[in-house]
């Protein structure tokens, strides 16, 4: 895929390729980890809601005056349904635009149990009608970031033993086992100079391990405590870059391969509740929070 190069005015976006060796164990993987930038806030599953509401779109008001970006707000709707509702049906996907990603990358995501698309607010009534006809649960979450760090979205907060198999672009496979881990979606963002009302998003699945606090060290000033260190391994091989315009949202859901155990999509989007298998699809709507230069009111 082409490199992701945000403009000079972009909110910070970090990209780094990390190799994954085949059949590595949990003890061997930390040397391969790249510790992600410390996020602004921890993730959760959101609040259950009774009804589906359309994702709030970005503001489309224009201004000729300089704008200072304050941050980004993400509205996340997670819809949970019996397995197969989204992975084995094209009803929802037919209304979405998956061509925002190159064909070879879409194929790679599908092999790993994932699909990513972009859609406009005009198709939301069609999507809502499809979801209303299914036995679904809806969870809503609103997250705001102001420091430029990538945002981790936790779909399942439970740390548990996991085995991950990653299919790479060269069609080889890497694997690792973790005694305690969870899968997250890592959202990095940038504002392009030529489209200041839009956002460039990089969406990356990430293995997140328990954080740890380094042992205190002795300096000439005495004992020094150190902050907790976040441990994670972003799956850069599956990083997907999309541009989201005003009145658009991103959809992350399961592919038909999601039933295969240990794939990234399976670990991220599937869960078992009371011996029943479920899968989730996520609708993510980013909106810019900004203030005009010389003005005190944010938009």
List, in order, residues 6 or more apart from 156 with CB less than 8 Å away: 45, 182, 183, 268, 271
Using pLDDT thresholds of 50, 70 and 90, give the confidence band for residue 296: very low
Mean pLDDT of 31-50: 39
List, in order, residues 6 or more apart from 171 with CB less than 8 Å away: none
Q: What is the pLDDT of residue 237?
A: 93
Q: What is the pLDDT of residue 29?
A: 38
β 137-145/67-82 pair status = antiparallel
Q: What is the pLDDT of residue 80?
A: 95
Question: Could you tell me the two tokens for 138?
Answer: 């809806």
The predicted-structure confidence for 118-155, as pLDDT tens digits, reads as follows 999 999 999 999 999 999 999 999 888 877 788 888 77
Contact 292, 299 (CB under 8 A): yes
Report which of 249, 274, 270, 244 is spatially closest to residue 258, judged by C-alpha positions. 270
β 114-120/173-190 pair status = unpaired
- Over 144-212, what HEC string results? EECCCCCEEEECCCCCEEEEEEEECCCCCEEEEEEEEEEEEEEEEEECCCCCCCCEEEEEEEEEEEEEE
Cα dihedral sign, 24-28-34-40: positive
Mean pLDDT of 244-263: 93
User: How much of the chain, in percent, has pLDDT values that exceed 90?
Assistant: 45
Using pLDDT thresholds of 50, 70 and 90, give the confidence band for residue 279: very high
Residue 16 has pLDDT above 60, yes or no: no
SS3 for 237?
A: helix
Residue 154 or 283, more confident: 283
Q: Measure CA of the first residue to CA of the last residue in the chain; give whole Å.
A: 34
pLDDT, mean over the chain: 77
Residue 283 or 2, more confident: 283
């Amino acid at each position: 895929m082409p490199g992701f190069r945000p403009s000079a005015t972009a909110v910070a976006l970090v990209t780094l390729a990390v190799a994954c060796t085949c059949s590595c164990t949990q003890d061997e993987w930390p040397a391969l980890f790249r510790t992600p930038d410390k996020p602004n806030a921890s993730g959760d599953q959101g609040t259950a809601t009774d009804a589906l509401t359309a994702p709030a779109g970005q503001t489309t008001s224009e201004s000729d005056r300089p704008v200072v970006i304050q941050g980004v707000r993400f509205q996340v709707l997670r819809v949970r349904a019996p397995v197969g509702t989204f992975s084995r049906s094209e009803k929802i996907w037919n209304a979405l635009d998956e061509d925002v990603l190159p064909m070879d990358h879409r194929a790679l995501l599908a092999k790993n149990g994932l699909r990513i698309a972009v859609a406009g607010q005009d198709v939301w009534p069609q999507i809502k009608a499809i979801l209303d006809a299914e036995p679904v649960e809806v969870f809503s979450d609103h997250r705001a970031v102001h420091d430029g760090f990538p945002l981790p979205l936790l779909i399942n907060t439970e740390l548990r033993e996991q085995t991950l198999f990653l299919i790479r672009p060269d069609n080889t496979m890497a694997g690792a086992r973790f005694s305690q881990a969870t899968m997250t979606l890592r959202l990095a963002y940038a504002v392009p100079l030529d489209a200041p009302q839009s956002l460039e998003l990089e969406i990356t699945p990430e293995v997140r391990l328990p954080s740890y606090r380094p042992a205190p060290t002795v300096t000439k000033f005495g004992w020094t405590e150190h902050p907790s260190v976040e441990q994670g391994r972003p799956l850069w091989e599956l990083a997907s870059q999309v541009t989201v315009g005003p009145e658009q949202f991103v959809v992350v859901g399961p592919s038909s391969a999601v039933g295969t155990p240990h794939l990234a999509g399976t670990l991220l989007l599937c869960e078992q509740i009371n011996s029943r298998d479920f899968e989730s699809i996520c609708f993510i709507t980013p909106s810019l929070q900004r203030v005009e230069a010389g003005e005190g009111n944010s938009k």
